[in-house]
Amino acid sequence: MIESEVARRSLIRAVRPDRYSESLLERLVTSHDLAPMPKVAALAFKMMPDAVIRPKEAEEVAEVIQIANSWDIPVTPRGGGSWGFGGAVPNNGGVLLDMTSMDKIISLDAERGIVRVQPGVVWLRLDEWLRRRGYFVPYYPSSAPGATIGGWISTGGVGVGSYKYGAARDNVRSLQVVLPSGRIIDTAHISDSKHPSQFDLTSFFIGSEGSLGIVTSIDLQVYPDPEAFFPASYSFANMDMAYNALAKISEARLKPYHVAFVDDNTFRFLRAMGREAPEVGGMINLVFEGQKAKVDEELKFFDALMTSIGGKRESDAVSHHEWMERSYELRTKKLGTGAVIGEALVPIGETAAVARETLQLVKKMKMSLAVNGYLIDRGTVAFLPYYLTDERRWIKSISSLSFVKKFLDISNAHGGRGVGLGLFMANNVRAMRDVNTVKLLRKIKYDIDPHGRVNGGKTVELKLRFGIRVGPRLFRAGMNALAILKRMYPRDKYDRPVPGGFPGGEHP
Ligand SMILES: Cc1cc2nc3c(=O)[nH]c(=O)nc-3n(C[C@H](O)[C@H](O)[C@H](O)COP(=O)(O)OP(=O)(O)OC[C@H]3O[C@@H](n4cnc5c(N)ncnc54)[C@H](O)[C@@H]3O)c2cc1C
């Protein structure tokens, strides 16, 4: 609850009574994101906001921030809440800005191929809207059915189609941002945004995880709907062969639209749920799009390449199914009642080694894990392991979270880096950037937001409730202790009694 009645009334006036809520249910729903945080975490963080506000326009956001500044109230922006690092979760209560209410698709500039949207628009909806007008958005997170455009940009998004079309940074032309002072800025001039000759601030806000301001409007590059679109899946006897195939694809003169992989454990989990899934050592899913003749040429080329290195072309039905499943990697989370994703960008030549060491770690920590991922450019793999967890067993569940830190250590050691920091991995910034850069990042944060009110205590530093700062040493020691605790438990099983029941089984 917002303590000051005057502040409360001002906040309600800034939006409207029906877009201001202190209901326990709304505050509970917004007190976590994808990561399972047990109640005991409330000792460290006040994750439950005092109020949830749903703004509709940038001016309302600006007014809320100005009021929050007057009353020293923290502000946390939230999109779909589908990220797993606590970026959209308050660390010390305050106002939660639910940006999903800013969900207008404002305009399409067909001549320039630029669509202007509010940040709460969900990717899938934008794609459907564009398709009806002969356009499409070829890059998006695989969480497209629930993730917002503002959320993806703020996490520095990579995703489906990044291999051919690039990441958020390559496709955002301009942003409107409400700064922590409450001022509204445009990061680029629209007529200058494609080939900026002026000081373009857009990139500065991409990947800043809501710590430098609230994104209230986005100009995105979009493309004409392709003439042809074709997925083709290839199975391999084991994952080493599949990782080798990724390297070969990246060396090829042609470039598929999307290159993804799925490991054998994913299929094993699906079978344990009673679903049909191929009994293969691993799968590479290629997708081609563009002019029909070009798609045919690419398919022929990659068909020859993949079969020459041990791949078996799966039927069109399997390929189509794999493509349609691209947004549902976590279907198998039902097996454990929860799942946690680690996400790292790994140099392509190191993928097999990172996978091997991650599986060794999983064995030591007695966990159940599957891996999928995709190429984001010719040299980099987005490597996404996820483990099953039982959120009802909170000590075990919280001790499992140390896997994410340990997995990031493995990828760092191989020249990779984690995707994002948020609240839980904020201390990892020291492992990802040199000390001078971290100092500069913190300086920028505090120059723009002197009291650290907008998504403070995250991303460039870790602060607990009441403003207590936790350094990386303490964080590392805590994570190591949790990992040791996890090893003391019996091996994870995924045959928990789940309503509806699964056949279940033990991780190999
Ligand atoms: C099954 C699954 C697949 C996934 N696949 C991918 C993938 O392919 N690529 C990928 O990058 N990620 C992926 N993710 C992670 C996550 O879904 C994405 O990062 C997603 O884009 C986050 O969007 P969101 O709207 O849920 O953001 P949230 O989780 O709500 O927020 C993420 C961060 O952005 C900030 N934020 C949100 N809105 C704003 C705003 N308007 N202004 C300023 N800051 C804001 C929040 O404070 C927070 O720090 C996946 C997750 C799942 C569950």
The kind and range of the H/E element at 52 are strand 51-53
pLDDT at 476: 82
The kind and range of the H/E element at 228 are strand 228-236
Residues pairing with 234 in the sheet: 284, 313
Query: Using a 6 Å cutoff on CB, does residue 264 contact ligand 1?
Result: no
- The answer for residues whose C-beta is within 8 angstroms of residue 371's C-beta and 6 or more apart is 239, 261, 263, 265, 266, 355, 358, 383, 384, 385, 386
Query: Using a 6 Å cutoff on CB, does residue 55 contact ligand 1?
Result: no
pLDDT at 210: 97
Averaged pLDDT in 10-residue chunks for the chain of 508 residues: 92 96 95 78 88 98 98 97 92 96 96 95 97 96 95 95 95 96 90 66 95 97 96 97 97 97 91 87 97 97 98 97 88 73 92 95 87 96 88 78 89 92 86 90 96 93 85 83 85 56 42
Query: Using a 6 Å cutoff on CB, does residue 330 contact ligand 1?
Result: yes
Count the helices and strands in the chain (H runs, E runs): 18, 22
Helix axes 239-251, 351-364, angle to 10 degrees: 150
- Would you say 426 and 461 are in contact if contact means Cβ atoms under 8 Å apart? yes
Query: Using a 6 Å cutoff on CB, does residue 212 contact ligand 1?
Result: no
pLDDT at 498: 44
Task: Measure 501 CA to ligand 1 centroid, in angstroms.
Answer: 31
**Residue owning the nearest CA to atom 36 of ligand 1:** 151
| Alpha-carbon torsion angle 262, 264, 270, 273, nearest 10 | -150
- Would you say 319 and 231 are in contact if contact means Cβ atoms under 8 Å apart? yes
Q: Would you call 435 helix, strand, or coil by DSSP? A: helix
Secondary structure E strands in 264-410 = 282-290, 312-313, 338-341, 344-347, 369-377, 380-389
pLDDT at 393: 76
C-alpha to C-alpha distance for 280 and 268, rounded to whole angstroms: 9
Lookup: tokens for 293: 């003749």
pLDDT at 193: 57
Query: Using a 6 Å cutoff on CB, does residue 157 contact ligand 1?
Result: yes
For ligand 1, what atom is nearest to the CA of residue 34? Answer: 53
Residue with tokens 């045959």: 495
Task: Measure 151 CA to ligand 1 centroid, in angstroms.
Answer: 4
Secondary structure E strands in 276-354 = 282-290, 312-313, 338-341, 344-347
From the number of C-beta atoms within 10 Å of its C-beta (0-12, 13-18, 19+), residue 490 rates as: exposed
pLDDT at 43: 81
Lookup: tokens for 454: 């907008």
Query: Using a 6 Å cutoff on CB, does residue 289 contact ligand 1?
Result: no
For ligand 1, what atom is nearest to the CA of residue 328? Answer: 1
**Which DSSP string corresponds to 92-154?**
B-SEEEEGGG---EEEEETTTTEEEE-TT-BHHHHHHHHHTTTEE---B-TTTTT-BHHHHHH
pLDDT at 368: 81
Residues pairing with 261 in the sheet: 284, 373
**Residue owning the nearest CA to atom 3 of ligand 1:** 143
pLDDT at 85: 87
What one-letter code names the amino acid at 395? I
pLDDT at 104: 98
Question: Residues of 97-119 as b/e, b for ≥16 C-beta within 10 angstroms?
Answer: bbbbbbbeeeebeeeeebbbbbb
pLDDT at 502: 43
Query: Using a 6 Å cutoff on CB, does residue 383 contact ligand 1?
Result: no
C-alpha to C-alpha distance for 84 and 33, rounded to whole angstroms: 6
pLDDT at 366: 85
For ligand 1, what atom is nearest to the CA of residue 160? Answer: 8
**Residue 163 CB-half CA count within 13 A:** 28
pLDDT at 194: 60
Predicted TM-score (pTM) of this structure: 0.93
pLDDT at 191: 62
pLDDT at 389: 79
pLDDT at 401: 82
pLDDT at 73: 97
For ligand 1, what atom is nearest to the CA of residue 99? Answer: 41
> Which stretches within 19-109 are classed as H helix?
24-29, 58-71
Ligand 1 mutation target, pool 152, 187, 209, most atoms within 8 A of CB: 152
**Residue owning the nearest CA to atom 50 of ligand 1:** 143
- Would you say 175 and 218 are in contact if contact means Cβ atoms under 8 Å apart? yes
SS3 assignment for 170-183: HHEEEEEEECCCCC
DSSP state of 406: H
Lookup: tokens for 97: 């800005």
